[in-house]
Amino acid sequence: MEKNEGRVALITGASRGIGAAIARRLARDGYRIVGTYRQDGDAARALETELRAAGGACDLVVADQRDPETLRVPVDLVRERYGRLDAFVANAASTVFVPLVDLKLHQMDKTFAVTVKSLLFGTQLCAPLLAATPEKPGGSIVAISGIDSQQVLPMHGLLGACKGAMEILVRYLAVELSGQRIRVNAVNPGFLDTASSRYYVKERWQDVVDWTAQVSPAARMGTPEDMAEAVAFLCSEASAYVDGQTLTVDGGLQCASFIAGTVR
């Protein structure tokens, strides 16, 4: 495939969970995937093998976004191999689940760096490749937010605040990057069946699954694939008039009535 032919997506935290689902979904749309991961090399290699076997292009590289400077590695790969970028998905997240009053300074720095600084610095690096040219339309940036930015969850205070900051950055970036024809949006999920969700809830996982099925209009727990569909939409021309928005994809959970524990 010649340089500058076909679409290219850069996805952070792409080896597992939501990131891997997004990579699979965008690959189905013809995107060549460049992704990052921090430590699960086996999962990264497995995803590369899977997408390449399906006829796509996928390269995952290490980028520990506790130091956002490491994002230069995947961005340089995109520039050198493809010379263009059509979608930047800021998916990586990391935190520690403790009360706000017990947070250590290094834990604050880590969560802010991975969530907020990486979105902003990644955008600075990617914008020149995403900008519209005579050969291609402008690209799309999608930030993956979290339910904890809108709903208070125990021990999620710092992550929820950082995800809220992401959503505010989305609005400002949409305005500032409009001249380059780069759209910027976010997706905010409800409760999703991911490894991190299971780790957070631990032995109460089935209770959360049952509760979500009971109160949510969709009557089920969300999946990484649900998020991936929303991201694919925001990266497509079908969403050309959607900019600076946070799209809530939670099966209607936020509009559920919790009175008597049921909506039906």
Q: Which token pair is 58?
A: 């996928």
**Domain total in the chain:** 1
Task: Please give the Cα distance from 43 to 23 (Å, whole number).
Answer: 13
* Residue 200 resides in a domain: no
* Residue 198 resides in a domain: no
Rg (CA), the chain: 18
Is residue 58 within 8 Å of residue 51, measured between CB atoms? yes
pTM: 0.91
* Residue 201 resides in a domain: no
* Residue 106 resides in a domain: yes
* Residue 169 resides in a domain: yes
Q: Which amino acid is at 85?
A: L
* Residue 208 resides in a domain: no
Q: Which token pair is 243?
A: 């900019």
CATH of the domain at 122: 3.40.50.720
* Residue 258 resides in a domain: no
Q: Of 5, 163, 157, 178, whose CA–CA distance to 91 is shortest?
A: 163
Q: Which token pair is 113?
A: 């760096």
Q: Which domain holds residue 138?
A: 8-192+222-252
Q: Which amino acid is at 191?
A: F
Question: Consecutive 10-residue runs of the chain (264 residues): their mean pLDDT?
Answer: 66 96 97 95 97 97 93 98 97 90 95 95 98 94 93 90 97 98 95 78 84 88 95 97 96 69 46
Hey, is 85 helix, strand or coil? coil
pLDDT tens across 193-228, in order?
887 778 767 788 898 888 888 888 998 989 999 999
* Residue 2 resides in a domain: no
Hey, is 219 helix, strand or coil? coil
